[in-house]
Amino acid sequence: MTEHSSPAVEGTPHPSNTRTYVTIYLLLLALLAATVGTAFVHLGPFNLAAALAIAFIKGLLVVLYFMHLRDAPRLTWLVAASSFIWLAILVVGILTDYWARRVFGPE
């Protein structure tokens, strides 16, 4: 195969250089070690909170840097954010229902 070079497509900015990607990758690995580590410690309900918090940070790094949301137009931000807002409505709505049934349900 021959290396065919052509100028980068206009309007598709990829300001992230290799160094940024490797830094994000190393951060993700550090957070992986952290999430495995916290699972070995007795934290009660905070085990779940810690696991979710670390997963959110990891997810945010992936979305912002690997998926380039950081450099995306506002409309893309809106679509990305709305998917998680709808997910939050789904999860919070259903879980409060089950929680309320147990706490206030008929005895």
Partner 1 sequence: MSNVGGHIEQFDSPARRSEAVMLGMWVFLATEVLFFGGLFCVYGVYRYEYHDAFRLGSRRLDLWLGTLNTFVLLSSSLTMALAVQAAAAGRSRRTVTFLLATIALGTLFLGIKGAEYLHKYHDGLLPVAGAPFKWEGPHAGGVHLFLSLYVGMTGLHALHMVIGIGLLSIFAWLAGRPRWWALRRDSFDVLGLYWHFVDLVWIFLFPLLYLIDRTP
Q: Contact positions toward partner 1, by CB under 8 A?
A: 1-12, 14, 16-18, 21-22, 24-25, 28-29, 32, 35-36, 38-42, 47-48, 51-52, 54-55, 58-59, 62-63, 65-68, 72-73, 75-76, 79-80, 82-84, 86-87, 90-91, 94-95, 98-99
C-beta closer to partner 1: residue 97 or 107: 97
Which string of DSSP letters, residue by residue, matches 23-58?
Answer: HHHHHHHHHHHHHHHHHTS--TTHHHHHHHHHHHHH
Q: Are 28 and 62 in contact (CB under 8 A)?
A: yes
Q: Sign of the C-alpha dihedral, residues 93, 95, 98, 100?
A: negative
CB of 55 to partner 1, least distance (A): 5
CB of 45 to partner 1, least distance (A): 10
